[in-house]
Structure 1
Amino acid sequence: MNTTYARLELLRTTRDFVSMFFVAILPAFFFIIFGAAQDFGDERFGNGNVTMYIMVSMAAYGAVTATTGIGGMAAVERMQGWGRQLGLTPMGDGHYIAIKALVSVAIATVPVALIYALGYFTGADGTWQAWLLSAIVVVAGATLFALWGLAFGLAFRSEAAVSAASGSIVILAFLGNIFFPLSGTLLTFAKLTPLYGYAGLARYPITEGELANQGTGPTEHDALWVPLLNVGVWTLILAVIAVWLVRRSRGRQ
Structure 2
Amino acid sequence: MTEPRRTPPPSPSARVALITGAGSGVGQAVARELGAAGWTLVLAGRRRETLERTRDGIDGVRALCVAADVSDPDDVERLFGAAAGFDPRLDLLFNNAGTFGPGGVPFEELPLSAWHKVVATNLTGSFLCAQAAFRRMKAQDPQGGRIINNGSVSAHAPRPGSAPYTATKHGLTGLTKSLSLDGRPYRIACGQIDIGNAATDMTDRMAHGVPQADGRLMPEPLMDVADVARTVRHMAELPLEANIPFATVLATAMPYIGRG
Instruction: Return the TM-score normalized by structure 1.
Output: 0.31
**Structure with greater strand share of residues:** 2
Query: Taking CA–CA contacts closer than 8 Å with sequence separation of 6 or more, which of the two structures ends up with the larger relative contact order?
Result: 1
Instruction: Return the TM-score normalized by structure 2.
Output: 0.31
**Structure with greater helix share of residues:** 1
